[in-house]
Amino acid sequence: MQQTRQRHRVVLLPLPLQGHINPMLQLANILHSHGFSITIILHTSFPSPNPSNYPHFTFLSFPDGLSQSEASTTDLLSLILLLNLRCINPFRDCLVKLSRLVLRTGGVSSYAAFAAFPTLFEKGYFPVQDSRLEEPISELPPLRVKDLPVIKTSNFDSYYQFLTDMVRQNKASSGLIFNSFEELEQPALATLCPDFHIPIFPIGPFHRYFPASSSSLLTHDETSIPWLKTQAPKSVLYVSIGSIAAMDEKEFLEAAWGLANSKQPFLWVVRPGSVRGRKWLESLPNGFIEMLGGRGHIVNWAPQQDVLAHPAVGAFWTHNGWNSTLESICEGVPMICMPRFTDQLVNARYVSHVWGVGVQLENGLERGDIERAIRGLMVEKEGKEIRERMLHLKEKVNLCVMQGGSSHESLQRLISHISSF
């Protein structure tokens, strides 16, 4: 059987963004360990992982034709639409000859919301009106209108068309792979299956199959783990809003004072560019860091999986990108949710109101609300109950990837499915 699998080559083409490249490389490692040859096609206009870290893969470059200014745009929708346009001709002849499997790097619940957009459009939920933000969506409980996975854009028609095309093409594929597990998202899987007449493979969490890989496109600050070693168990709040999301200067200052006033130790990732219009920490008041007396540690970027696994970390203030959400669940770390756009909005709602393993900052960023959320999660009784639920969920993660677990069995089905092509 091993010799048969070695004759199969899997070709992977990621969306060239950090949050998509990480799970793709994890999936590539999983498939390679089961005998498949891996080819990864990278966009030449974007930072890429170092091929020397993956000698067991074949890497090819794809000239997507984007200029430097086009590739560095902060308009995510425009970037995706432009990539789709520029990639059509080089890949059309190749793709029609391939059996295509689709890797969804987000969660099943957020994807179910994307798939429901045509129905929601017909029922008048779009365009979203401010007066309806708190209105429950009966078709997608427990979501409200404000939780729908939208991008703030003046070109909603293009966004809607992009999503409907994406779902239509996914339905025409040979199968969907999710970086999730049945015990976490069974209701969403049950919602999708009747409408998707293709196999669906929830085989995650991907990173549970292998140690953390060095696929970060940003350089880690090597001081994070040594600083954590000086802190008491479960005392540190880890803060990171991911590789794309940003906040304005006012939000940044409210976050800084909320962290300081909470009196809890914190490790804060402030990525260059995460504060709009600023290079790094110049917005902080004079003497702010000194005032902390060593209680806070601020870095450009951190090895997130190692940080979340560290015994000193007691909570995670996150933007709720799917990778971050899943990594937090895997390590049993409760969350403070601050979603910014698209699937993050859905993920935060599920974390706080379905799985019950976090709290959400829903009314903007105000230092008093931030301080109360931190202390409520890390010091008070509410936080203890949330931690207990999170530890119970962590146990389910550990079981699902073991032999006989739901993700392990789904992976075996995926391997058989690919081998049948």
329-381 pLDDT, tens digit each: 999 999 999 999 999 999 999 999 999 999 999 988 999 999 999 999 999 99
Cα distance between residue 231 and residue 366, in whole Å: 27
> Bigger pLDDT: 152 or 34?
34
Provide the number of structural domains found in the chain. 2
Answer yes or no: do 174 and 308 share one domain.
Answer: no
Cα distance between residue 360 and residue 385, in whole Å: 16
Answer yes or no: do 284 and 329 share one domain.
Answer: yes
Please give the residue range of the domain that contains residue 388.
224-398
The predicted model scores a pTM of 0.84
Answer yes or no: do 274 and 127 share one domain.
Answer: no
Query: What's the order of all strands across the beta sheet hosting 58-62?
Result: 9-12, 37-43, 58-62
Cα 284 to chain center, whole Å? Answer: 28
Answer yes or no: do 234 and 335 share one domain.
Answer: yes
Cα distance between residue 266 and residue 370, in whole Å: 13
Residue 218, Cβ density class (10 Å: 0-12 exposed, 13-18 middle, ≥19 buried): middle
Least Cα distance to 256 among 243, 270, 235 occurs for 270
314-333 mean pLDDT: 97
Phi-psi region of 263 (alpha: psi -120 to 50; beta: other; left: phi over 0): left
Least Cα distance to 143 among 323, 354, 317 occurs for 354
* Coil, helix or strand at residue 375: helix
Answer yes or no: do 198 and 230 share one domain.
Answer: no
Answer yes or no: do 275 and 294 share one domain.
Answer: yes
Amino acid letter at 142? Answer: P
Answer yes or no: do 313 and 195 share one domain.
Answer: no
Whether 232 is in a domain gets the answer: yes
Cα distance between residue 136 and residue 60, in whole Å: 46
Answer yes or no: do 8 and 145 share one domain.
Answer: yes
Residue 273 DSSP class: T
Confidence of residue 215 (pLDDT cuts 50, 70, 90): low
pLDDT of 177 strictly over 60: yes
Confidence of residue 281 (pLDDT cuts 50, 70, 90): very high
Whether 38 is in a domain gets the answer: yes
Amino acid letter at 331? Answer: E
What local confidence, expressed as pLDDT, does residue 95 receive? 53
Assigned token pair, 25: 């490389």
Cα 236 to chain center, whole Å? Answer: 22
Answer yes or no: do 61 and 197 share one domain.
Answer: yes
Whether 236 is in a domain gets the answer: yes
Residue 10: phi and psi, rounded to 5, are -105, 125
Whether 219 is in a domain gets the answer: no
What local confidence, expressed as pLDDT, does residue 2 receive? 39
DSSP H or E run through 312: none
196-224 mean pLDDT: 85
Whether 324 is in a domain gets the answer: yes
CB 224 within 8 A of CB 307: yes
Answer yes or no: do 24 and 160 share one domain.
Answer: yes
Whether 218 is in a domain gets the answer: no
Token look-up 């540690």 returns 297
Length of the chain: 421
Answer yes or no: do 54 and 181 share one domain.
Answer: yes
Instruction: Give per-residue burial for 365-385: e unless 16+ CB within 10 Å, then b.
Output: bebeebbbbbbbbbeeeebee
What CATH number has the domain bearing residue 66? 3.40.50.2000
Confidence of residue 85 (pLDDT cuts 50, 70, 90): confident
- What are the strands, taking DSSP E only, across 250-321? 266-269, 296-299, 313-318
pLDDT of 242 strictly over 50: yes
Confidence of residue 100 (pLDDT cuts 50, 70, 90): confident
Answer yes or no: do 281 and 183 share one domain.
Answer: no
pLDDT of 112 strictly over 80: yes
Confidence of residue 293 (pLDDT cuts 50, 70, 90): very high
Whether 340 is in a domain gets the answer: yes
Whether 199 is in a domain gets the answer: yes
Of the chain, the percentage scoring pLDDT greater than 70 comes to 94
Assigned token pair, 42: 């990278």
Greatest mean pLDDT range, 87-91, 194-198, 404-408: 404-408
